[in-house]
Amino acid sequence: MDRFDEIPEQALAWHRAGEGAVLASVIETWGSAPRRVGAQLAISGGGQIEGSVSGGCVEGAVIVEALEALEEGGARELEFGVSDGDAFAVGLACGGTIRILLEPIGAVLPEEMLAELVAARAQRKPAAYVVDLDSGARRIDHAGHQDRFRMDRSGFEPESREFVAIHNPPLRLIVVGAVHITQALLPMARIAGYDPVIIDPRETFGSGARFPGETILHDWPDEAVTQLGLDGRTALVLLTHDPKLDDPALMKALRSGCFYIGALGSTRTHAKRVMRLQEAGFSEAEIARIHGPIGLDLGASGPAEIAVSILSQMVQVLRKGA
């Protein structure tokens, strides 16, 4: 299951329930600010909250300002300096400054626009919420902002007061092959923000005893990846070393939108893989999407270090492009 914050969803629910709601968004930071630009906090008319804009440093003041903004029906921009002492309390070495935008739902941020954003998030569609702080114009973009989407980077457009809030689907890792490397890779990937899924029709390998608490599908890999979907926030890692298992999923992936495809095997093994794909009608450009041998060349030895090299390559491709 995707791990996804429910902040816009909760704000919409509070608004529709008649409680009133405000979305608070970090729009700018200086120094060692507690939360990154784009972080959000939803506040209900009754003072309930979901999310965070400062890790606890200024939430109390933000809630007071949000309730006043809700009553007045207007947007507000707030600026707070986070002291060294407060910063230390939330795990930072030194303080900083954050600027926060308050938007009452309905009066400022239209309900239908928030509903469009919530629907896009539910469908795993990247969406950018764009607001011009001078004119008050607002819109949802589903195209453009390519660098911002890749980097998960909300912020102001250059030389303007147009703020772009990026809402990406959660990152997902699909691993074909319940092997030793998978046992090391999954906890690392989860720490890095990925939701992992294992595919392996061999129930002896893909067992709950070997992978406690993990999502394991025992379907044939091509059927499983079709069911899961391979979008631009999904990485596919093939680790079985068995063409009968790896190739069907690989063929689906090469004509999908997944951002990363990696396949275990030596240079010789990969050359044979390339030949099979050429015979199956895949183009040179499609085949070039495969990272094989998988992972960055770190001189890795053993499952844990190989897992580090794979995750490192996934991050590199996600953030810097292939």
**In this predicted model, what pLDDT tens digit does every residue of 182-209 receive, in sequence order?**
999 999 999 998 999 999 999 999 999 9
Q: Which of 167, 197, 218 is the last residue of a domain?
A: 167
DSSP-derived 3-state class of residue 156: strand
Predicted confidence at residue 95, as pLDDT, reads 60
**278 shares a domain with 250:** yes
Average pLDDT over residues 232-240: 95
Both 105 and 161 in a single domain?
A: yes
Amino acid at 151: M
* Whether residue 179 sits in one domain with residue 155: no
Same domain, yes or no: 311 and 244: yes
Residue 231 lies in domain: 171-320
* Contact yes or no for 269/245 (Cβ under 8 A): no
227 and 309 belong to one structural domain: yes
191 belongs to a structural domain: yes
pLDDT digits (tens, 9 = 90+) for 19-75: 999 999 999 988 766 678 999 999 999 999 999 888 777 888 999 999 999 999 999
Q: What is the number of structural domains in the chain? A: 2
Task: Indicate whether 123 pLDDT > 70.
Answer: yes
Residue that is last in its domain, among 112, 140, 167: 167
For residues 101 and 206, state if they share a domain.
no
Q: In what order do the strands lie in the sheet with 155-156?
A: 138-141, 127-132, 162-167, 155-156
What whole-number percentage of the chain has pLDDT above 70? 93
Three-class SS state of 45:
coil
Question: Which positions ≥6 away from 35 have C-beta within 8 Å?
Answer: 26, 29, 52, 53, 54, 55, 98
The verdict on residue 162 lying in a domain is yes
- The model's pTM is 0.76
Q: In this structure, is residue 123 part of a structural domain?
A: yes
Separation of alpha carbons 270 and 264, rounded Å? 8
% of residues, the chain, pLDDT over 90: 79
Asked if residue 112 lies in contact with residue 120, where contact means CB atoms within 8 angstroms, the answer is: no
Between CA 113 and CA 119 the distance in angstroms is 10
Helix residue spans in 123-220 (DSSP H)? 146-151, 180-191
Q: What is the mean pLDDT of residues 270-276?
A: 95
Strand pairing category for 260-263 and 234-238 = parallel
